[in-house]
Amino acid sequence: MPALSENSMDELKNLIANFEKEDYFEKVNLHIHSNCSDGVLSSHEIIKKAQKINLEHISITDHNSLEAYDSIDLDKIEDINVIAGIEFDCWHKTDFMHILGYGFDLNDKNLRKLCAKDKRETRLDIVRIFSQKKSPEVIKTIRDAGGISVLAHPACCWSLNLEKMVEELISYGLDGIELYYPYVRHRKIVKFHSIKKIAEIAEKNNLLITGGTDCHSEKLDAI
């Protein structure tokens, strides 16, 4: 399988656009936390486990951290496509949100500057909610680093008008929205919006649709 890290942003967009709903969780998991943030497995263990359960495309998306990628060489991994990823905390006006980045240059200096300075910023919700990052800056930095940005678990956004909020993010360059993820008990966070609503917003705005289990445990395929 060719290393995706060398492909362009358009190739990544095409790859993601071609994933079907059924592919998520069976073959594709684009939202996994390692022990470099608040997950339990190392990046090596995640890749081994993903290969064992026949996942074909994965991304390790730690909170504000690229540390998981410091111990692996994406170009040398065989039998599975590992897409560079991250999950940034940020604020959009009065809304706190998580924005996923994919397929960027792992050595991009500005992206690295946005990463956590301290372990607590990768692990503790109570620290992370005081993030100084703003949505336009996060989206622009991901794009300038050659990557695409995706609004994570949108049903958790407390915005009263999700559609308007998403349209504002699109005006900053947002490429996609996470649609396939565990809604039912997503980290015990209250849901403010339905999957149907999110699917409608994605379609209307021609957004890329992504998905992943947002796994923090040893079970990569647990929904």
Residues at the interface with Zn ion (CB under 5 A): 87, 98, 152, 214
- Which lies closer to Zn ion via its Cβ, residue 87 or residue 175? 87
CA torsion through residues 99, 103, 106, 111, sign: negative
CA dist 28 and 53 (Å) reads 11
Residue nearer to Zn ion on the CB measure, 89 or 108: 89
Rounded to the nearest 10 degrees, what angle do helices 135-144 and 162-172 cross at? 40
Closest to Zn ion by CB, 7 or 137? 137
Instruction: State in angstroms the smallest separation of the CB of 209 from Zn ion.
Output: 17
What's the closest the beta carbon of residue 132 comes to Zn ion, in angstroms?
A: 18
Question: Least distance in Å: CB of 7 to Zn ion?
Answer: 24
Closest CA to 6 of 71, 77, 55: 77
The minimum distance between CB 76 and Zn ion, in angstroms, equals: 26
Provide CB contacts within 8 A for 114, sequence distance 6+: 64, 88, 133, 137, 138, 141
Select 84 or 152, whichever has its Cβ closest to Zn ion.
152
Token representation of residue 137? 């800056």
Residue nearest to Zn ion (CB): 98
